[in-house]
C-alpha cells in the first residue's frame, strides 16, 4: 500500500467497515477480460477467516465466468463525504475501504444455501433472525461464498489527515 498513513492495520477495524458497508464489488476475469459487479453481501468472520456470501439467479454471465475461474477480488467502501476547499485541486473525499482476494465456492446443499442466505439477510437487515427458505426458493437461487485469502483496509478521514492542533 503506497499511503501507509491511511492503512487500517487492526483486523477488528477492517471487520467493522465490512459490517457497516452494504455493497461489495466483485471482480472476476475471463480470457484476460475483467468483469466487475456490485452485489449485496453477507459475511462471517470466524477463527480469523473472512467469508463473504452472495446469491444470484441460476444462470448468467457472472456464473459462467466463476465456473471457469474461481479466483476473485473484491472491493467494499463506505463513509463517503466530500471535502470542500478553496481551490479545486484541494478538494477531496473521505472514505473507508476494504480490498481483498480469494476463491469462490458454490454452496450445493440446502443447508449450505440456507446458511449463506441467512448471512446475507443478517448483514443487510441488521437483524439476527434465522430465516427458513423452502426447497422451491433454494432451487431457484445460486448461493456462493468467497473464501478470502487476504484483505487490506484503507481510510481517508478529515481528522486523521488534518488533525486539530
**Range of the structural domain that residue 74 is part of:** 4-160
DSSP state of 89: G
- The pLDDT value recorded for residue 158 is 61
Please tell me the pTM assigned to this model.
Answer: 0.89
**In this structure, is residue 165 part of a structural domain?**
no
**In this structure, is residue 96 part of a structural domain?**
yes
Examine the pLDDT at 163 and tell me if it is beyond 50.
Answer: no
**In this structure, is residue 116 part of a structural domain?**
yes
- The pLDDT value recorded for residue 154 is 87
Q: Going by C-beta distance under 8 Å and a sequence separation of 6 or more, which residues neighbour residue 101?
A: 71, 72, 73, 74, 148, 149, 150, 151
Of residues 158 and 67, which shows the higher confidence score? 67
**In this structure, is residue 41 part of a structural domain?**
yes
User: 26-62: per-residue pLDDT in tens?
Assistant: 999 999 999 999 999 999 999 899 999 999 999 999 9
**In this structure, is residue 19 part of a structural domain?**
yes
**In this structure, is residue 83 part of a structural domain?**
yes
- The pLDDT value recorded for residue 4 is 60
Looking at the 3D structure of the chain, how many domains does it have? 1
DSSP state of 4: G
Residue 118 maps to which CATH number?
2.30.110.10
Amino acid at each position: 500500500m503506497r499511503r501507509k498513513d491511511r492503512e487500517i492495520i487492526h483486523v477488528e477495524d477492517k471487520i467493522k467497515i465490512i459490517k457497516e458497508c452494504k455493497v461489495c464489488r466483485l471482480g472476476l476475469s475471463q480470457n484476460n477480460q475483467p468483469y466487475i459487479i456490485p452485489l449485496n453481501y453477507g459475511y462471517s468472520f470466524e477463527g480469523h477467516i473472512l467469508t463473504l456470501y452472495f446469491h444470484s439467479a441460476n444462470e448468467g454471465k457472472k456464473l459462467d465466468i466463476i465456473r471457469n475461474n474461481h479466483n476473485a477480488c473484491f472491493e467494499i467502501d463506505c463513509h463517503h463525504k466530500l471535502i470542500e476547499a478553496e481551490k479545486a485541486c484541494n478538494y477531496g473525499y473521505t472514505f473507508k475501504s476494504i480490498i481483498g482476494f480469494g476463491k469462490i465456492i458454490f454452496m450445493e446443499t440446502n443447508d449450505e444455501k440456507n446458511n449463506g442466505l441467512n448471512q446475507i439477510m443478517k448483514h443487510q437487515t441488521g437483524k439476527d433472525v434465522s430465516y427458513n427458505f423452502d426447497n422451491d426458493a433454494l432451487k431457484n437461487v445460486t448461493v456462493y461464498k468467497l473464501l478470502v485469502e487476504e484483505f487490506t483496509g484503507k481510510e481517508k478521514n478529515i481528522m486523521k489527515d488534518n488533525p486539530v492542533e
